[in-house]
Amino acid sequence: MHITMLGTGSAFAKRYNNNNALIEANGYRLLVDCGITLPKALHDFGMDFPQLNAVLISHIHGDHVGGLEELAFQMMFKHQRKPVLYIADVLVEPLWEHTLRGGLTQGDLNSITDFFEVQPLQVGKSYILANGLTVELIQTKHIEGKASFSFLFNGTFFYSADMRFDGQLLQELVERGVETIYHDCQLEPPGVVHACLDELLTLPAEVQEKTWLMHYGDAMEQYADKTGRMRFVKQHTVYDV
């Protein structure tokens, strides 16, 4: 399994695209989140929407779902097919009612299933997405009252959505066999709704060594030697996980 970050930036970053990823396994391509900058980031990477097999959504913020309207319209009107949308079952209605309905609705096209092949997922279950690629949703804390989910791929790779610091969860995941952690990181404290670097630096050394930092701000280069045993994920670099 390979992962390439099409963007590594926070919601407010201007030097980096939104934190969206491309996971590839045996020819299958999964887009993880589809933020505002994703359509152009994908184009700049040399790919088009039809080359994706599915998109997996973590939560409903613009830097994670803001590109879904273009994805839906392009696939419908240019390519005559619905994209596959994997999403937590509890997010299906809010995604449509609070984010997509206003822009996508036209005539008889007035539901999320008119535009997407929706595949609802439940927490705690492992789903086979393709040969060599499974995913399990883990609900993690982000904004009070708004559901947000991180992902465990193949039982060994943890990919955080936007989440507050939870050192106990990270330690438990490592004990479960997780070998690689991609974690969102707010560089300047306080984190509030994101784990900040100071918090992540309190992790045990063996957990830090497995942790890669993403979803960072424009000042990332100023912190290059301040991340302990953790490393920054670089945009457009292919990593084996």
DSSP sequence for 58-114: ----HHHHTTHHHHHHHHHHTT-SPPEEEEEGGGHHHHIIIIIHHHH-BTTB-SGGG
How far is 117 from 54, CA to CA, in rounded Å? 9
pLDDT in tens, 174-221: 999 999 999 999 999 998 999 999 999 999 999 999 999 999 999 999
Phi-psi region for residue 132, left (φ > 0), alpha (ψ -120 to 50) or beta?
left
Exposed, middle or buried: residue 84 (CB in 10 Å: 0-12, 13-18, 19+)? middle
How far is 196 from 216, CA to CA, in rounded Å? 10
pLDDT in tens, 70-80: 999 999 999 99
**Position of tokens 């994209």?**
83
Q: Give the model's confidence band at 17: pLDDT under 50 very low, under 70 low, under 90 confident, else very high.
A: very high
CA 6 to chain centroid, in Å, comes to 11
> For residue 153, what are its two tokens?
């791929």
> For residue 112, what are its two tokens?
């999320």
Across the chain, mean pLDDT equals 97
**Position of tokens 């004990």?**
175
Domains annotated for the chain, with CATH where assigned, are: 2-236 (3.60.15.10)
Q: Give the model's confidence band at 222: pLDDT under 50 very low, under 70 low, under 90 confident, else very high.
A: very high
Q: Are 128 and 134 in contact (CB under 8 A)?
A: yes
Beta strands 211-214; 180-184: pairing state: parallel
How far is 72 from 57, CA to CA, in rounded Å? 14
Q: Are 119 and 87 in contact (CB under 8 A)?
A: yes
Question: What's the whole-model pTM score?
Answer: 0.97
